[in-house]
Amino acid sequence: MDNIDLSKPVEIAENTYWVGSYIQDDFFQCHSYLIKNGKESILIDPGSLITFEETLKKLKYLINLDDIKYIVCHHQDPDLVSALPEIEKVFPDRERYIITHWRTYFLLRHYNLLTPFYLVDQHEFKLELENGKELKFILTPYMHYAGNIVTYDPETKVLFSSDIFGGWIEKNWSLFAKGEEYIEAIKTFHETYMPCKKIILHSIEKLKKLDIEVIAPQHGSIIKGKDFIKKIMLAVENFEYGKMIEAEKLESFRAKEHKRHILSIIKELTIKELFMSKILRIVERQISSVLPVKNIIAILKTNGHFYVYSKESNYIPRKLDKLKFDKDNFFIFENGNTKIFIEPRNSFSLSEEDREFLNSIASLIVHVAKREKWLLSIQEKKKLLKDKAYKDILTDLYRRELVKELIEKEFHRSKRYGYHFSVLMIDIDDFKKINDTYGHLLGDKVLKKVAEIIKNELRKSDIPIRYGGEEFLIILPHTNLEAARKIADRIRKAVEKTEIDGIKTSVSIGVADNSLSRKLEDIIKKADQALYTAKRMGKNKVVVATT
């Protein structure tokens, strides 16, 4: 890979940037681009829900989102356009257009978008901007879609080529194409993707008339240099096309890509999903789609106990003090105190590729197991804390002064392993008035009932704390800001519906997470400030801290 920081935008020509998302081990690498042009900036091929989060970060790094007036969609594939509904949610409201061909429009309209369309076939295949800049659009039908277009910027001499000149790169991908080897990558991609030479020659003849210095494709690598571009165009004219007809010859290729996709899904899952049981259920189903696998058994050893996860128990862990296990007919993968057993449906031998695939899966499970051991340890510690009266007698929630160390350890672990960490600050509205009007006995009942509602809405891994008086602090490990907001709103609604001895009450809630600060005390402070904003807004509200 290039020695380029791919977490930031990369300038490929004057005021022209790659704003895509690098996905490890992806053969395609889907790209988005930005042309900076003041209040008429242009986003080209916005991308998918997988890539858009990274693209959004890069766009914010370069410009105000309000500056983007045009979004070019060369065709309708989801890896190129499925981020459009998300764009309508997060981009500021202003005059904005989606630029495409009428054939593509008839498919994009199924996203039920509010943004109007600028159809190139109704505007002489060009876009004239207020500062005199002009973009040209070229119809390249059936490459690979009937209404496919490409975009040419005469000022920078950049061709945004959609799928054309894209490459299929299995190893050592680089953002910029490196010599002759990239021609082979283009060949692999085009011969199975484009239908026939007649269609290719029709479009290449149009493109050869342009003065091109940079080709920015949707897939593969960016191509720079006139001589190199001429050589690539000549090569493309002489490839063989329509090879998907020979599908049986491509079976191994398909299987390899399927396994790569499964690895990508599981890798993403291990980042987002907290619990090992759910991960193992999905892993077993995914592996079974490519190999005759009957069962996966994971065994963790921690604190002198064995925890066994298997299909038989729906991957809910069984705690054992001693382990008796028949290892025959299993493929075994071991790492320290974690063992993974894969049981085949019938007798079959593993190819080197299969073994490498299963080893990669097992490595991901081992990574999850480390986190699971910690969660199991936390569960045991929670029981110990309860046994030692670490909980508030009235509410049965943790006492603030006694769990400070536990909270700090959880927070530092989130920093170390890079997972989400959210907090809720909850306060019972008008609690003093309840005490003054109805007495402290009813006030105590209200505290107990609100605490009970809070516990009912939380997971076992969450940490509810009586923070002081009628105020509660909730620690939500592995929970992002949006998920924390939903939990807060469930608590608020549940309290609102509840009646205690004929009295109704409500709570105000502030929400914050570790994207706002690297210090625990700052996050709690921001949640507290959001709580008091909720109070000022009329109470019985959830407010999410923003800065």
pLDDT of residue 283: 85
pLDDT average, residue stretch 486-514: 94
**Worst-scoring range by mean pLDDT, 182-191, 243-252, 311-320, 333-342?**
243-252
pTM: 0.54
Angle at 221 between CA 24 and CA 207, to 5 degrees: 150
405: Cβ contacts below 8 Å, ≥ 6 apart: none
CATH code of 247-378, in short, is: 3.30.450.40
Alpha-carbon dihedral of residues 62, 66, 69, 71, nearest 10 degrees? Answer: 60
**Worst-scoring range by mean pLDDT, 15-19, 69-73, 261-265, 458-462?**
261-265
Q: Does residue 428 register a pLDDT over 80?
A: yes
482: Cβ contacts below 8 Å, ≥ 6 apart: none
Band (pLDDT 50/70/90 cuts) for residue 251 is: low
Peptide bond into 144 cis (omega under 30): yes
**Worst-scoring range by mean pLDDT, 13-17, 164-168, 262-266?**
262-266
Active site residues: 470
CATH code of 10-238, in short, is: 3.60.15.10
pLDDT average, residue stretch 324-328: 67
Q: For all residues of the chain together, what is the average pLDDT?
A: 87
pLDDT of residue 376: 78
Residue 438 CB-density burial (10 A; 0-12 exposed, 13-18 middle, 19+ buried): middle
Q: Does residue 387 register a pLDDT over 60?
A: no
Per the structure block, which two tokens stand in for 26? 């992806």
pLDDT of residue 385: 61
pLDDT of residue 62: 95
Q: Does residue 349 register a pLDDT over 80?
A: no
pLDDT of residue 2: 64
**Worst-scoring range by mean pLDDT, 144-148, 256-260, 285-289, 523-527?**
256-260
The highest-confidence range among 123-127, 295-299, 306-310, 346-350, by mean pLDDT, is 123-127
pLDDT average, residue stretch 175-181: 86
**Worst-scoring range by mean pLDDT, 9-13, 423-427, 437-441?**
437-441
pLDDT average, residue stretch 54-61: 94
Residues 290 and 351 sit within 8 Å (Cβ to Cβ): no
**Which residue ranges make up each domain of the chain?**
10-238, 247-378, 400-544
pLDDT average, residue stretch 48-62: 93
pLDDT of residue 518: 85
d(CA 405, CA 391): 14
* Rounded alpha-carbon distances, angstroms, from residue 15 to 41, 55, 447: 10, 16, 59
Angle at 158 between CA 152 and CA 160, to 5 degrees: 60
Show the 3-state SS of 245-267.
HHHHHHHHHHHHHHHHHHHHHHH
pLDDT average, residue stretch 187-204: 86
pLDDT of residue 254: 66
CATH topology for 400-544?
A: Alpha-Beta Plaits (3.30.70)
Share of the chain above pLDDT 90, in %: 51
The highest-confidence range among 112-116, 169-173, 253-257, by mean pLDDT, is 112-116
pLDDT of residue 190: 83
The residue count of the chain comes to 547
Band (pLDDT 50/70/90 cuts) for residue 400 is: confident
pLDDT average, residue stretch 373-391: 70
pLDDT average, residue stretch 384-411: 77
Which of the pair, 88 or 266, is modelled with greater confidence?
88
The highest-confidence range among 24-33, 262-271, 428-437, by mean pLDDT, is 428-437
**Worst-scoring range by mean pLDDT, 33-42, 125-134, 211-220, 312-321?**
312-321
What is the full DSSP assignment across 188-237? Answer: HHHHHHS--HHHHHHHHHHHHTS--SEEE-SSS-BEE-HHHHHHHHHHHH
Total H helices, total E strands in the chain: 15, 26
d(CA 50, CA 23): 9
Per the structure block, which two tokens stand in for 212? 């091109």
